[in-house]
Amino acid sequence: MLSELHVKNFAILDEVSVEFGKGLNVLTGETGAGKSLLLGSVNAALGGKVSKDLLGSNGDYALAELLFDNDECVRDLLEKYELPESDMLVISRRITDTGRSVSRINGETVNASIVKEIASRLFDVHGQHDHQTLLYPAKQLALLDRYAGAEALAAAAEVRSLAREYKAAVRELAEAQERGAARARELSMAQYEYDEIIAARLVAGEDDLLEERFRVLSNREKLTEACAEADSVLSSDSASVTTGIERALRKLAKASSLDPKLEAIYEDLRLAEEQVGDIAARLSDYLSEITGTEAELAEVGERLDVINRLKSKYGRTIDAILAYAEEAERTIAKLSDFDGYVTSLTEKVKRSEQALRTEAAKLTKLRKKAADELSAKVRDSLSELNFLSSEFTVEFRELEEPGETGAEDAEFMISANPGEPLRPLAKIASGGELSRVMLALKTASAGKDEIETLFFDEIDAGISGRTAQKVAEKLADVAQTKQVICITHLPQIAAMADCHFEISKSAEGGKTRTMLRKLAEDEVPRELARMLGGAEITDSVMANAREMRELAMQKKNVT
């Protein structure tokens, strides 16, 4: 349930906070007072399109914020999008003077699509434009599925999934058949590529080893020369390092017997002699191991050329080249048995189509059962909404083949007056009739719709008198199980309110601002009198207003 709406600097709404209650919440006020701006701020908070022109004159940003008293019905979505959970759910939107807007849920920044997805479970807005959406068969079919319940919604989701799979299978088969003419060329190319790679007998990692060997072979003369000179310096020459260390050791051996302080130096030099000797031995071994011929160098170079050529064609690494060969092998297998491949795709299409038709038939059955029930309830509601003699039914038209919406289209058909034939809902010319049909549909589906809060604007468009009273009573009925928020000009509807809010406009300091306040019970008759009598409120109008409120409370069984 929506517990509070907070709006700041939204056009002429300076700063307004509304604490809504359970049941029927009514907002009334003079034309132009700013009632529709409240609906606009709600739409803005719920991710609707807004313009920076809606920014007021009291700051560089506008804010619209909705507080819901719990988040249980959207807990799974909060977990899905890793949003904070709380006893309260806060949805807000901030719009700056640059046109940039930021939406948040429980303080976390989110994009508009997430806001709309979460809000769709919490709030249902019905303005004049929203009535018009009822005219589209696709919207009517979606409404019917929601009415049919969880099983139908699950079946509809499965049908969408199966229809996409079926389309993909059909597309794959068509593409395979189109490739028939080019199959021989594709097969030949795949076979050539596969044979070329396999003939190379590649081994993972061999390119690194070959490159290292090629580098050694290419520089073996330089390596031999450098190592031989180093060996000569260390041990081969008469003036070598080894010879010099040996002489120094002999001298220090005698000297250290005279002064013990030289013993440590002598020991370090002795270790150095061992290290130099070890290095000289390793150099000698390396010189004896340096082998290779021009023939080997040529052979290694040719092998690297083969590998690098394959890399330029099939992948940057040997692993990538081998993976390419595996894919080519699969292509060869597929094209070598092309007829079998096409046959398997054909069978896949048949299986996919059968699964789709089976699930679509299940959905059709659920829809038709729900349509009969919904039609009966809507007819009863239309009668209560002062349609003299109305008929309402859901007409199904079978499609040539099932699609993402199922095996049929559905359209709401209505006869609003005696003697008139059933016609599509779109043929209704009266806005008042369309508003009442929409209310009848919401009433009929109220028990099965999980959305707790309904916001009605212009529900009273084009109606008056007895019809207005019937609409008021029907809104009160809906408000027994839902929270209803209604902007209205009709006193009949306002008289039924559980919470009545007055919207007024004033000019202060050269600025126009809108204010909103909740009326106490003893203030309600005066606002009803204003709606009944206009500018001059006489005693008789006040008496009429009090009587209207009392009768409304009796109708609602309120003492």
The predicted-structure confidence for 365-415, as pLDDT tens digits, reads as follows: 999 999 999 999 998 888 888 777 778 999 999 999 999 999 999 999 988
Model pLDDT, residue 384: 81
Q: What percent of the chain has pLDDT over 90?
A: 29
User: Which tens digits make up the pLDDT trace of 126-156?
Assistant: 765 555 566 788 888 988 998 898 899 899 9
At 309, the pLDDT band (50, 70, 90 cuts) reads very high
The answer to whether the beta carbons of residues 409 and 396 sit under 8 Å apart is yes
User: Which tens digits make up the pLDDT trace of 415-451?
Assistant: 877 778 888 887 775 666 777 787 888 778 766 767 7
The answer to whether the beta carbons of residues 127 and 457 sit under 8 Å apart is yes
At 251, the pLDDT band (50, 70, 90 cuts) reads confident
Total count of domains within the chain: 2
Q: What percent of the chain has pLDDT over 70?
A: 91
Does residue 34 lie in a domain region?
yes
96 and 206 together in one domain: no
Q: Cα–Cα distance between 422 and 71 in angstroms, integer?
A: 42
Q: Where would I find the H helices in 290-400?
A: 294-314, 318-336, 338-384
What is the layout of strands, in order, in the sheet containing 453-457? Answer: 123-126, 453-457, 483-487, 24-29, 499-508, 511-518
Token pair of 453 as six digits: 């809060």
Does residue 513 lie in a domain region?
yes
- CA-CA distances (angstroms) from residue 301 to 91, 218, 222, 333? 68, 10, 19, 35
* Mean pLDDT score, 199-215: 87
The identity of residue 128, as a single letter, is Q
Instruction: Provide the pairing of β-strand 483-487 with 24-29.
Output: parallel
328 and 202 together in one domain: yes
210 and 115 together in one domain: no
Does residue 136 lie in a domain region?
no
Say which range, 100-109, 211-220, 244-253, 281-290, has the weakest mean pLDDT.
Answer: 281-290
The pTM (predicted TM-score) of the whole model is: 0.62
Residue at a domain's end among 294, 316, 334: 334
Q: What is the 3-state secondary structure (H, E, C) of 539-553?
A: HHHHHHHHHHHHHHH
* Mean pLDDT score, 473-497: 89
* Mean pLDDT score, 61-75: 84
Does residue 446 lie in a domain region?
no
Residues 6+ apart with CB under 8 A from 469: 492
* Mean pLDDT score, 55-84: 82
Locus of tokens 């914020």:
65
Does residue 499 lie in a domain region?
yes
Residues 6+ apart with CB under 8 A from 527: 28, 494, 500, 502, 519
Does residue 24 lie in a domain region?
yes
223 and 326 together in one domain: yes
- What DSSP element (H or E) covers 435? helix 431-445
* Mean pLDDT score, 256-282: 82
Residue at a domain's end among 268, 300, 334: 334
pLDDT at 238 > cutoff 60: no
Q: Cα–Cα distance between 366 and 375 in angstroms, integer?
A: 14
pLDDT at 559 > cutoff 60: no
220 and 312 together in one domain: yes
More confident: 444 or 302: 302
Residue at a domain's end among 314, 334, 354: 334
User: Which tens digits make up the pLDDT trace of 310-361?
Assistant: 999 999 899 999 999 999 998 888 777 777 878 899 999 999 999 999 999 9
Parent domain of 210: 196-334
Does residue 523 lie in a domain region?
yes
Does residue 354 lie in a domain region?
no
Highest-pLDDT range among 265-274, 284-293, 341-350: 341-350
108 and 231 together in one domain: no
The answer to whether the beta carbons of residues 45 and 66 sit under 8 Å apart is yes
Token pair of 275 as six digits: 């290290």
**Mean residue pLDDT across the chain:** 84
CATH code at 468? 3.40.50.300
Model pLDDT, residue 399: 93
